[in-house]
A and B are shown apart, each in its own frame.
Chain A
Amino acid sequence: MDDALIEKLGILADAAKYDASCASSGAKPRRGGKEGLGSTTGAGICHAYTPDGRCVSLLKILLTNHCLFDCVYCINRRSSNVRRARFTVEEVVTLTLGFYKRNCIEGLFLSSGIIRSPDHTMEQMMLVARTLRRDHGFAGYIHLKTIPEASPWLIEQAGLWADRLSINLELPTDHSLKAFAPEKNGGTIKAVMGQVNERIVEAKEERRRFSPAGQSTQLIVGADDATDRSVLETSGTLYQRYGLRRVYYSAFSPIPEASSVLPVKPPPLQRENRLYQADWLLRYYGFTVEEIASGGEDGMLDLGIDPKLAWALKNRERFPVDVNSADREMLLRVPGLGARAVDKILSARRHTRLRLEDLGRLSTGLRRARPFLIAADYHPAGGLTDRLDLRQRLVTPSSQLSLF
């Protein structure tokens, strides 16, 4: 690895860091054995954390940051003045293997600006994955970000080698996509998602390998004027219609070489956080977009409290819930009780009637859950949930993170 390669790595990692996806989970267990290299365990491992608190699991780089397109939110758009660089297929392979052998990564996340043509670019990315798998017996994780404008046959080729494919939608509405990414086409992106989904389902039925860890996408929030409600509606559709495994939310963050069309000030990072919490409620807690949105105002989530608490405060008549008799669905709606705590409650209460002290050992969120529940030795007198200052009492004075 010489100076020039290190230099390129710097440029092409910098350009890739705005992609929120980093997960390496969901792959089928696999191992490289005596001749190959690596394994996937299904869960994925975070090998380090950067000072922004995000994990490093995959080598996340671009093949190149040259781009023919001009999407305003993107630092690699052709009208930006950033330094450009370009890896060869072999270079990406060398870096992936070298870092993997040192136990720095779980695998590769490869994305790219569009050079020459979408097909040419997609083919280069596919070649990276193919070389790793076929020539080096690499059994680590591979995530390719497909170029939506590439031909369907190329995307199918990519799915033969990758664990996961993603196609970033970036903007939640067709209207902002048109304004911010003039050469991209929302219809094309969704058509590719549909195609990929169809292939994944078919391959499962035929027991073939095709993007076995599913597909994901990313939405940028705060670059346009879309509300949280419309962001969540888009996600809801993506989960239902295209079977997406994950939707990532990335708060628009200031970039060097910003275009004048973009807002100057970034949205609060808390907004991204709340969207992830809402997404979680959508996927695992049986909430609807409508219910989640009703916890906030004007289609925006409450930044001060999490969406589950926000919903509970607006639906106080449904509380308190008796932990010794309520069904799972309702227990999941108690603020402060996560799915794991709920399952522990369900199994523990078969043996004993749970008291407050017991709950303290089953859940770490008891302080927040208390006003909303009834235990064997505890009935919130006169209904704590009626107190007007409940919200205030539950919110720890928000320690706004300062830069220093």
Chain B
Amino acid sequence: MRTITLREGADLDGFRRAVRRLAAARTAPEGVLWSVGAPSLFGDDAPASEDGAPVFLPQAVGQLIETVVCHSDPERYALLYRLVWRVLNGERALLDQHADPLVHRLERLDKAVRRDIHKMHAFLRFRALSDPDGGERYVAWFEPDHHIVEAVAPFFVERFESMVWTILTPKGSLHWDRRSLMTGPPAERPDSLADDRFAEGWLRYYESTFNPARVNPTAMRAEMPRKYWANMPETAAIPALVRSAPARVQAMLEAEAAIPRRRMPEKAVAAMARQAPESLAELNRVIQRSEPLVPGATQAVLGEGPEGAAIAIVGEQPGDQEDRDGRPFVGPAGQLLTAALEEAGIDRGGVYLTNAVKHFKFVQRGKRRIHQSPTAGEVKHYRWWLMTELGFVRPRLVVALGATAALALTGRTVAVLRERGPMAFDGWNGFVTVHPSYLLRLPGEEERRRAQAEFVADLRRAAALV
């Protein structure tokens, strides 16, 4: 008979080494006595160098072991070794046999540990202490049933990474200083963990969120057994809440239906009717307050030009320059547009200029911000604003520059080069032509000159329509 003594708590390493050694010696479970808590790790005092080779186990078995070693049942190692033994001796799929008594028992231990971990995540409460140097520190006391302190640490580190905190338990302690985690020895219950005003506020919240007409303390206790109450400031309110519930309900039922105060339905209806922006300025304020629906953008770029302009020109979206200046059509494409308008005999100052999408979308490449075309979905998000905007401007003709603008105004994909010319937009007389940035991208000098001339001709045709 071999005696193996493991360290107090969840000794996963010790168990792993023991398993390797026992498996190498082909020691059957009946030949091992497991004990916990002596100072030396191995009662059978074999040097660590005699560890056996790693044992290959199905992943699910490894996971089960990791959890079950945390259980406080003194038999846990014996049960786990019986499992390992059977798995190594022909029963690879043993864990699938949920009806097997050993598997069933281990599943229950596993469940108990998981539940304990879950309850610690849930019911642990931090109290805030202010340090002399003005910093904030959070301290909690909790009494878990099993050896789970190290198992819960990742959860609290992840959730409260930016805070300095300490968790004290009778089974060990944790301390996080925003950089590293230290584990410490078992702790005593601290005698003063003063509650602050937040704890008081939380108590009030807890009382107020309870509905006396639904009182059901049995259901509460099933989920939140009494043993946890001592750590939770809010539970102080429970006895009084339960005691007063029947009287509160009775009072509600007996109270006469309330006599309504003066009702003012007009006000509610008027508030609903009034809420849409009533002017271009108000709409623009809405747009400015809104978050970009495309990634990037430092600011919204609003439309520019007189309300009541005969022609409104709609581009795709602001570019790099526009995003910095907060004005439409000031970059290279905008300058090209200005020149073309002049050539076509149209006064830029008399035209309303805007974009289908109000924010610059880009990806950063080193120092450069590379323009990205908006997706159809993004265009659709901005459509509501564009249509409302045009509603205030009331142009006689809307000119769409390029495919994105045409998509926003028609709701469908338009093949610009093929369909350029007059086109009915949703409620507007429209005209489709290319976007000036398309001209900038053309490779050949000759080609560009021809396309530019066609663009100017388009603008002339459009102007002739109003």
Contact = CB atoms under 8 A, between A and B. Distances in A.
B123 A47 contact: yes
A51 B201 contact: no
A264 B140 CA distance: 46
Nearest to A70: B263
Given A69-B268, A157-B290, A344 B98 contact: yes
Nearest to A77: B260
A120 interface: yes
Interface residues of B, number: 91
What's the interface size class on A, roughly? 35 or more
A18 B155 CA distance: 32
Contacts, number: 257
B216 interface: yes
Interface in B156-193: 158-163, 178
A293 interface: no
B359 to A, nearest CB: 13
A53 B215 CA distance: 7
Given A102-B128, A202-B377, A348 B96 contact: yes
B128 A101 contact: yes
Nearest to B286: A153
B99 A17 contact: no
B161 A55 contact: no
Contact of B204 (A10, A52, A60, A68): A10
A101 B160 contact: yes
Contact of A1 (B197, B212, B246, B293): B197
Given A32-B161, A153-B290, A257-B258, A403 B93 contact: no
A26 B395 CA distance: 47
Given A17-B208, A160-B293, A6 B197 contact: yes
A351 B97 contact: yes
A116 B268 CA distance: 8
Contacts of B291: 130, 157, 160
B342 interface: no
A255 B252 contact: yes
A116 B384 contact: no
Contacts of B59: none
Contact of B252 (A9, A14, A258): A258
Contacts of A86: none
B276 interface: yes
B197 A53 contact: no
Interface string B246-260: 100100110101101
A87 interface: no
A206 B268 contact: no
B145 interface: no
A54 B213 CA distance: 12
A46 interface: yes
A253 B214 contact: yes
A9 to B, nearest CB: 6
Given A53-B214, A99-B198, A46 B220 contact: no
A256 interface: yes
Contact of B220 (A51, A123, A253): A51
A156 interface: yes
Contacts of A269: 214
A55 B122 CA distance: 11
A273 B238 CA distance: 24
Contacts of B214: 52-54, 253, 269
B159 A351 contact: no
A49 interface: yes
Pick the 4 closest A-B CB pairs, nearest first: A53-B219, A358-B99, A260-B257, A79-B260
10 contacts: A32-B162, A47-B122, A48-B123, A81-B261, A101-B126, A102-B127, A102-B138, A130-B291, A183-B272, A362-B99
